[in-house]
Amino acid sequence: METDSAIDRSDRWDIRHFPTIDSTNRWVLDEARAGAPSGLVASADHQSAGRGRLGRAWVAPPGTSLLVSVLLRLEIELEKVNTVAMAASLALLEGLPSELSSRSGLKWPNDVVVGDRKLAGVLAESILPSGDKSNSPEIAVVVGVGCNLEQKEFPAEVSAVATSCALELEKTITRDDLLSSFLSRLAFWSDEISSGNHWSVISAYRARLVTLGTSVRVDLGNETFEGIATDIDSSGRLLVTKINGEHVVVSVGDVVHLRSF
């Protein structure tokens, strides 16, 4: 492990870099439980057990992706914790070079997509106060980001649904450059949350959410249905109108955009 001071020289971030690690999210979660302060950042060239949403593995060849996890300690109501993941996905989207960010969007809940192809994903995990701090309003949230940077090709099983910065841009973007711009935008949005302006996060997130107005298939594990994604609520939950007209609020689930042929 090494400390990286070149990316951000402010006192806000404490960046630790690992050539290889099992999971940056796991490491930051452990540090958070041990009392690490807000602003701890772990990045890696390679993860041997990287995780995405719904327990899925995040697999990327060494050195080809931005793999980073950030600890944020915020005084926030529990029902608004999803706003932190929304802020992180916004920060990553806005941290991309403008020529790529302008034609990218967000797929509910926290994927960055270019058209129908996934560029990046965000995973947020929370630690609630316990013991003597059980009445504290502060919640620790670890946001993990995986963004495809240098891949020129993908395994056959994901080649039709994945993309990378290298495939989408004529110029090269380095991991350090993207990490720096991501952390800058994350600082902005987390400050908005800390100031009680969670609605500004929701509004900006909604404006970039390409899922809205789209025909979707929703897999809840015990039920699968199709409908139109119409909006998100104040907690970031997806509102879907099923084919039969029934309105459903989706908190957790796998959402697939359906193509029209």
Same domain for 84 and 162? Answer: yes
Same domain for 69 and 166? Answer: yes
The verdict on whether omega for the bond into residue 37 sits within 30 degrees of 0, i.e. cis, is: no
Same domain for 44 and 126? Answer: yes
Q: Which residues of 156-183 are buried (b: 16+ CB within 10 A; e: fewer)?
A: eeeeeebbbbbbbeeeebebbebbbbbb
Tell me which residue range forms the domain holding 244: 215-257
Same domain for 192 and 219? Answer: no
DSSP state of 44: E
The CATH code of the domain that includes 102 is 3.30.930.10
The CATH code of the domain that includes 248 is 2.30.30.100
The SS3 assignment for 186 reads helix
Same domain for 136 and 228? Answer: no
Same domain for 137 and 238? Answer: no
Q: How many domains does the chain have?
A: 2
The tens-digit pLDDT sequence of the chain (261 residues) is 655 544 544 689 999 999 999 999 999 999 999 999 999 999 999 998 766 554 555 567 888 999 999 999 999 988 889 999 999 999 999 999 999 999 999 999 999 999 999 999 999 999 987 654 555 678 999 999 999 999 999 988 888 999 999 999 988 899 999 999 999 999 999 999 999 999 999 999 999 999 999 999 999 988 999 999 999 999 999 999 999 999 999 998 899 999 643
- In which element (H, E) is residue 232 found? strand 224-232
Per-residue pLDDT at 9: 46
Same domain for 142 and 178? Answer: yes
Same domain for 195 and 225? Answer: no
The SS3 assignment for 38 reads coil
Same domain for 232 and 131? Answer: no
Same domain for 137 and 223? Answer: no
The verdict on whether omega for the bond into residue 155 sits within 30 degrees of 0, i.e. cis, is: no
Same domain for 160 and 243? Answer: no
Same domain for 91 and 182? Answer: yes
